[in-house]
Structure formats: structure tokens, C-alpha cells
Amino acid sequence: MKMNVMLAAAALMYAPLAMAGEKGAYPEENVATFVVDKLDMTSLPSAYRPKKEKGKKTLADYGYAAQKVKEKEALVEMAGGARRLSIRILEESGSGIYACVTEPPKDGGNPLTQSVVLLKRKDANGLLKGRETWREFTSCPVIGGSSDDSSAY
């Protein structure tokens, strides 16, 4: 009995330290820049994912360059303007980053595809893996895409 009380006290004492370590997993400022730098393109839903190529994972690896980056919004474009993606941060928490990923048309107008993606990483040095999520945001209604890409964490 005494041992159980000591173990419980130790767990309560170290819990804040464990939670503080998780908080540093994602930045609180310049989140869009962080996403552009750390996004694993090969993990995105099929509507946005390029054909896999050996040794390539990030936006930069696939030839995307940031055209416009703000605190919570980024527009990236492939060399030559072949394809563009808009990434807008919807919500951040210790468990991940919810982002609205959109493929805007070149001539303006309505987006071709749009979905809410939950971005997570396993460790502080890992890339952000993205999966379409069941969570809905009124500012990012789902347009196009495939139900095969949905995943509830």
C-alpha cells in the first residue's frame, strides 16, 4: 500500500514535466513557415500527394517554393507554376496542427479540392505527417477528394 502511494506521488510530481515536453513539439509562432519546412508531402491525401519518388518527401524536395507566407497561411507553387497549394492553419494544439489544404485554380474562382488535414509528428526532429480528418471547420468545407483518405486519429 505504501509503495502504491509513493508511485502515485512520483507520477503526479513528474506529470507536469512530461506535459511541458509535449508542448514544445509544435511552434506557437510562424506556424505556416514551420509547416512548409516540415511537411511530408507523401503523407497527404491523394488529391494533393505527388507521385512518390525515391528520396523525396518535403515540399522543397518536390520543387515547391513558398510564394507567400504569413503567420498562419502559406501559398506554395511548383517550379513553372505547374501546381499550387494553399495551406491555412485552422487550429494548433499539443496533439497536432489542423490545416486547411486547398488546390486553388490558376484563374481564381473556387478551389478544385479542399480538405481539413491533421498534421502530426512522432518526435521533435520528425516530419509532419498529414491525414484527412473527420473534424469539420466551417471556414474549410470539404471540396472534392476521396473518402479513402479519411482517417480518425
Share of the chain above pLDDT 70, in %: 78
pLDDT given at position 105: 79
Helix (H, G, I), strand (E, B) or coil at 93: strand
pLDDT given at position 129: 94
> Residue ranges of the domains in the chain?
27-149
Decide: residue 110, CB within 10 A, 0-12 exposed, 13-18 middle, 19+ buried: exposed
pTM assigned to the model: 0.76
pLDDT given at position 9: 47
pLDDT given at position 117: 95
- The CB density around residue 36, as the number of other CB atoms within 10 Å, is 22
Phi, psi of 56 (to 5 degrees): -110, 135
Residues in the chain with pLDDT < 50? 5-7, 9-10, 12-23, 147-153
